[in-house]
Amino acid sequence: MRINLALQKLEERGLECGIVLKPENIYYLTEVFPTAFAVLLLKEEPLLYLSKMDIHLVSKCKIDVDIIENFKKIHIPFKKIGIEESYMSYKFYRKKLHGKKIEDLDFIDEMRKIKDDKEIEKIKKSLKIAEKCMKEIIDLDMEGKSEKEVSAQISKCIKEKAELAFLPIVASGKNSAIPHHSPTNKRIKKKDAIIIDLGAKVGYYNSDITRTICSSPDEKFLEVYSIVVECQKAAIKECYAGNKIKNIDIKAREIFREYNLEDYFLHSCGHGIGLEVHEPPKISKNSEGILEKNMVITVEPGIYKEFGIRIEDMILVDKKPKILSKLRKLP
């Protein structure tokens, strides 16, 4: 059981207790996904505090559970404590842990980075649904529809078979130049570049793909499009076990630099994906660490000028990179 490995790592670090608050981490360690605030105490006898709202989860839990009415009452009688530093609020720290020796529970991230067979299976299922919906949308005639309408249609398509990993992005024309654009009432025109970024969730595991299309592309569009494709291909080639993680992002920037486009690549080149849509490893030029077999990551270079083009696929890291998404990349 994963929780035993976590306890072992806790002990190796000389920590008396770990406090796990992030629902995805609680699920990863206990197979119970809380729907309300919950606290997992990693200690010799692990204990999961659940809210009354999650009383229905008690029977599913393989470790001790306590239903608690008021989390203020939780007492943590330890001195050396592991926490999720990026997740725990300062307030929780101040109220419960001030003056104690604190360390990051980074080993949970490390564990989660490497997916086991069951996790990869769920990710593949989730990706298959995402790809099917992407294909349906790409094959549509979107002219005259609003970004919101297309986004609503994507949501409906995904929700028929899975859950939404996130609210689908549909960004057309000038809006495509905004990486995190929220769909608006803007109507899609024939010559618009349209970025579609969507993902499904199956059994708590996410997928995330992006395509950029244009029903009547001009030369400028086709030129940038082919550069982004070239860039993504080169970046994906870097996704092999043993390579430095940052080499993926560095390679992408190198390609864009050749075309004087580096300044228009506004985000990092990708991210780990699994229980969260964005999870470690982050794939940027400053990332530390080495790619390992069975990491699942996205590679998503993009250029944002007068219009935007982004292409995102999911990669299973192995001796050679395995591209999990099968969808074509023609504009």
Q: Which residues bind a copy of itself (CB under 8 A)?
A: 35-36, 51-56, 70, 83, 85-94, 102, 104, 148-149, 151-153, 155-156, 159-160, 163-164, 167, 177-183, 266-267, 286
Name the minimum Å distance from CB 158 to a copy of itself. Answer: 8
Assess contact for 165 and 159: CB atoms under 8 A. Answer: no
Half-sphere exposure of 280 (CA within 13 A, CB side): 17
Name the minimum Å distance from CB 142 to a copy of itself. Answer: 15
Amino acid at 254: E
Nearer to a copy of itself, 153 or 172 (CB): 153
Name the minimum Å distance from CB 32 to a copy of itself. Answer: 13
* Residue that the structure tokens 């919101």 belong to: 148
* Residue that the structure tokens 């024939």 belong to: 190
Name the minimum Å distance from CB 316 to a copy of itself. Answer: 27
Which among 237, 211, 91 is positioned nearest to 154, based on CA atoms? 211
Phi, psi angle pair for 131, to nearest 5°: -65, -40
Name the minimum Å distance from CB 295 to a copy of itself. Answer: 23
Name the minimum Å distance from CB 81 to a copy of itself. Answer: 11
CA 268: distance to chain centroid? 13
Name the minimum Å distance from CB 159 to a copy of itself. Answer: 4
CA distances in angstroms from 33 to 30, 61, 148, 203, 204, listed in the order given: 8, 10, 31, 11, 9
Nearer to a copy of itself, 81 or 296 (CB): 81
Nearer to a copy of itself, 256 or 325 (CB): 256
**Burial classification of residue 20, based on how many CB atoms lie within 10 Å of its CB (0-12 exposed, 13-18 middle, 19 or more buried):** buried
**Which residues lie below 8 Å from residue 89, measured CB to CB, with a gap of 6+?**
none
Nearer to a copy of itself, 24 or 104 (CB): 104
Nearer to a copy of itself, 155 or 215 (CB): 155
DSSP code of 186? P
Name the minimum Å distance from CB 241 to a copy of itself. Answer: 28
CA–CA distance, 208 with 296 (Å, rounded to integer): 11
* Residue that the structure tokens 């949970």 belong to: 108
Longest pairwise C-alpha distance within the chain: 67
| The token pair that represents 53 in the structure block | 């709202």
List, in sequence order, every residue forming a beta bridge with 146; answer none if it has no partner: 187
How, if at all, do strands 17-20 and 80-83 pair?
Answer: parallel
